[in-house]
Structure 1
Amino acid sequence: MTMPLHTDVLIVGAGPAGMALRLALQRLGIAALQVDKHAAGLNTSRAAVIHARTLEVLEPLGVVPALLAHGLKVQDFRIRQDSDVLLHIGFAAIPSTYPFALLCPQNRTEAILQAQLDAAGLAVTRPARLAFAAQGVDGITATLALPDGGSQSVQARWVVGCDGARSAVRDLAGIAFEGGDYSETFVLADVRMDGPSRDEVSLYFSVHGLMVVAPLPEDDGGSTDRYRVVATVAAAAELPVLAEVQALVDERSPGARVRELLWSSSFHLQHRIAAEVHRGRYLLCGDAAHVHSPAGGQGMNIGIQDAVELAAPLALALREGDLAGIVAWARHRHEVAREVVRMTDGLTRMATVSSGVGRAVRDAVLGVVGHSEFLRQKVAVRLAELEE
C-alpha cells in the first residue's frame, strides 16, 4: 500500500460526504488523501432521498445527470393517518431547477460518486483506519492502522472527519457529541409492495409510531414495485423479517401488501450535534457532525452540503492562510444542523402523540398549514433544504 506522507487535506471516510468533498477539492486544485476503514463501499441502500438543494450543490461535480438517470422524481409529500391526509406538501413550485425530491438509494448515489472519483484518477485508500492524531502548530500528525497490522504516519495540514456518527476524528479532536437517544428502535426495509402510490413520499402518523413509505426507482429488471419503509418500534430484531414489516404496515397503512423483503435492518438512533465542527485543524462533516431522525430525509443531504460548501473556504485557508471562510462555514453549518435536528425531532414526536387531546391539537395545526398556500410553500422549501 502506497500513501503520501504529506498531504494538504486528510479526508477520513468515503461515504457520500467524503466523496463529495474530495471531488469539490479536486476541482479547486487541492490535493487530498482519502481513507476509509471499510475494504469496499457499503452495498446497502440506507438514505434514499436527494433534495433540491443537494442536487444544486452537486452540479459542479458533474454527477447530477447520472443521479437523475438512476433516480425517481417525486413531487408530493403527504402526512397521513390511516386513510386520511393530514397535510399535502408539493415541490412543483419550489424555487429550484429541481422541483422534486429524487428517490435514489444510497448505494446508487455512492456508486455514482465513486465512478466520478475513478474517472478523475482519485483513489480511496482502504481499508485504513485512523488510529491516532495529534495537532501541531502547522497541521496534524495522523497514524493510520493498516490491514497487515502495520501503520502509516501522515502529515496533514487539515483533517476532515466524514467518518460517521462514531467518528474517530471527532473523538481524537476531543469534540463533544451533544444530545440524546431516541427510546424507539428504527426499522428500515426495502420491499416489493402492492398498494402505495408511486407518486409521493408518505409519512404516516400512528399511536404506534411513525412510518415513512417512499417509492424506489426501477431495478435492473424494470420492476416498479420497490419501496423503502422506515418505522419506529419499541423493539425489533436486528434483521426484521417480512412478517414483522407487514405487521408494521398493517397497523399504520392498512391495505398495502408486502410481497418480498429485499433488505432490512434495525438501529437505535440519536439526535446529537457536535459541540463544534471546527477545532484547530480538525473539521467535521455529515454524520460526524450531526445525527437525527430520518423523518424528512435530511441526513445524507446536509452532510453532502456540509462537504461541498467546505471546499472553497478550505482552499482559501490553504493558499492564503485566511481562516475567515472556515469560521463562517462552521457557524452556518452548525446552525443548519441545529434547525434540521429541531425539525426532524419535532416530526418524530408529533407522529407518536398518544393522547386524544394531543392528536387533536396536532391535527388542527396541520390543518391550518394545509389551508395556507404560503405555509405549505414554506414547508416545501424547508424540506427541500432551500431555506438559508
Structure 2
Amino acid sequence: MTNAITDVLIVGAGPVGLTAGIVLKQLGHDVVIVDSQSEGANTSRAAVVHPRTLELLEPYGVVPALVGRGVHTPTFTIRDRDQLLLAVPFDELPTAYPYTLMISQADTEKFLLERLTELGGKVIRPATVTGVVQEADLVAATFADGDQVRARYLLGADGMRSVVREQAGIGFTGGSYAESFSLADVRVSGGVPRDEVILYFSPAGLVVVAPLPDGMYRIVATTDEAPHDPDIAFVQQLLDERGPQARPAVVEEVVWGSRFRVHHRIADSFRQGRILLAGDAAHVHSPAGGQGMNLGIEDAVTAATTLSRVLAGEPEDLLDQHAAARRRTAETVVSTAGRLTDLATASAKARPLRNTAMRLAGTAPRLRRRLAWRLSGLDRR
C-alpha cells in the first residue's frame, strides 16, 4: 500500500464504505478501501433495510441476497402496551419492496463484501489513518505503520468518531441523549408477531421489538444504564415493563447483546475540498424509525455516483450540490427520529393526551400513507 495512488480512498468498511466501494468499482474506478479493525464487525447493530435503500442498491447486484435472507415485515406499528396507537402500512407502497426488510448488519456486510470481491475490490485491514493532508490535486492519507495513500478524493465512512472528519477540521454539532440504549438479539415465545416491527411507548422508556431471520427478534430499548452484556432476566424485565401484557413475551435465549449511547449530531459540512463524509461520520441520531444505516447507504450511493461523474470530467460543483443536499436530508431525518424518541419517552402525565392524539391520527389514511412514505425513505426519491 506504500505510496499508492488511486481515484478514491474510502476510510471505513462498514455498510456505508462497502456500498460506496461497490458503486465506484462497478462504474470502473480505482478504489482503495481501508478499515482500522483487523476483521469485519461481527456485531449486529443495524437491522432495518428500508424500501428506498433496496431501490438504490438494485443496480449493484446485492439485493437478491439481502431480500432472500431477510424477514419481510409489511407493517410498522406504535403501541402502548396492548393498545394499538398507530399502524403504518408498507404493503401498499408503490415499490418492488413494499416492506421493511429485517436483516442483521453482519449479514448485510457479508453480502456487500462478497459483491465487492466479485468486482475485484478488497478491504485492507487493519489500516488506521493518523493524518490527512490535502494537496492541489490530491489528498494524502498517512497510516499508523507509515504507509501513505494518495487519492483524487477521500470518502470518510469511519463512523461517529471519524478521524477523517477531525483531520478535515469539520465540526460535529449536536448533543447526546441522557439514556443509554440496550440491544439484544433473542429467541422469545408468546405475544410478538413475525410480520410487524413494533415500537412500544412506555413511561419507563421505549422498546422496539422486530423479527430477525432464524426465528430471532431484535430488542432495542432505552434505559438509564444499559448493561454491557444484557442477560435473559434484563431483557425479560424490559418486555414485562414495556411490551405486551395480554400475551406476555417470554425470553428463551439471548443470542447476542450490547449497549451504546445515542447522540444527535450533524457534521457542519459534508465536504471539505477533496474530502467527503458519509454515514455516521456525517450524522448520528436516535434509532427510532430505523433510519441510521439506510441514510448512510443513501449517502454512499449518491456520493459514489457523484464522484464518478466528477472523475469523468464534470464540474466539481456537483460535489458541493451533493454535500448540501445530503446535509438537508440528514437534518430532516435526525429531526424525525428525535420527535419519535420524545413521543416514546413522554412523561406519565402527558401519556393519555399523546395516546389519544396518536389514535386519532391513526384513523387518517392520508397521514398513515405519509408516515409510510417518510419511514420507508420513498419521500427521498
The answer to whether residue 298 in structure 2 is matched with residue 298 in structure 1 is no
The answer to whether residue 260 in structure 2 is matched with residue 267 in structure 1 is yes
In structure 2, the CA distance between the partners of 1:36 and 1:81, relative to structure 1 (3 Å rule), is same
Secondary structure of 2:209's counterpart equals strand
Alignment equivalent of 1:159, drawn from 143, 150, 154: 154
Match of 1:362 in 2: 354
The CA distance in 1 between the partners of 2:181 and 2:303, in whole Å, is 31
TM-score (norm: length of structure 1): 0.95
The CA distance in 2 between the partners of 1:204 and 1:355, in whole Å, is 14
Alignment equivalent of 1:200, drawn from 189, 196, 200: 196
Does the aligned pair in 2 maintain the 1:79–1:204 contact within 8 Å?
Answer: yes
Match of 1:239 in 2: 229
Match of 1:339 in 2: 332
Match of 1:285 in 2: 278
Matching of residues 92-131 of structure 1 within 5 Å: 92-131=91-130
Deviation sequence 1:293-316 (CA, Å, 0-9, x none): 111110000100100111221112
Deviation sequence 1:158-217 (CA, Å, 0-9, x none): 111000011010010011111100000100000001121111000000000000000001
- Cα offset, 1:343, TM superposition: 0.6
- Cα offset, 1:279, TM superposition: 1.0
The CA distance in 1 between the partners of 2:49 and 2:42, in whole Å, is 18
Aligned length: 376
Does the aligned pair in 2 maintain the 1:313–1:323 contact within 8 Å?
Answer: no
The CA distance in 1 between the partners of 2:322 and 2:124, in whole Å, is 27
Matching of residues 1-388 of structure 1 within 5 Å: 2=1, 5-145=4-144, 150-195=145-190, 196-218=192-214, 224=215, 226-253=216-243, 254=245, 255-320=248-313, 322-356=315-349, 358-388=350-380
Counterpart AA for 2:254: L
Secondary structure of 2:170's counterpart equals coil
Gaps in structure 1 of 5+ consecutive residues: 219-223
**Aligned-CA RMSD value:** 1.1
- Cα offset, 1:4, TM superposition: 5.7
Secondary structure of 1:320's counterpart equals coil
The CA distance in 2 between the partners of 1:251 and 1:73, in whole Å, is 27
Counterpart AA for 1:108: D
- Cα offset, 1:236, TM superposition: 2.0
Does the aligned pair in 1 maintain the 2:3–2:148 contact within 8 Å?
Answer: no
Secondary structure of 1:151's counterpart equals coil
The CA distance in 2 between the partners of 1:4 and 1:377, in whole Å, is 52
Does the aligned pair in 1 maintain the 2:158–2:281 contact within 8 Å?
Answer: yes
Secondary structure of 2:153's counterpart equals strand
Runs of 4+ in structure 1 off by over 6 angstroms are: none
Does the aligned pair in 1 maintain the 2:12–2:157 contact within 8 Å?
Answer: yes
Deviation sequence 1:254-299 (CA, Å, 0-9, x none): 3111010101111111011101101111100000000011111100
Counterpart AA for 1:163: D
The CA distance in 1 between the partners of 2:90 and 2:316, in whole Å, is 37
Secondary structure of 1:86's counterpart equals strand
The CA distance in 1 between the partners of 2:22 and 2:307, in whole Å, is 13
The CA distance in 2 between the partners of 1:312 and 1:119, in whole Å, is 19
Does the aligned pair in 1 maintain the 2:3–2:147 contact within 8 Å?
Answer: no
The CA distance in 2 between the partners of 1:272 and 1:49, in whole Å, is 21
Gaps in structure 2 of 5+ consecutive residues: none
Does the aligned pair in 2 maintain the 1:80–1:204 contact within 8 Å?
Answer: yes
Secondary structure of 2:123's counterpart equals coil
TM-score (norm: length of structure 2): 0.97
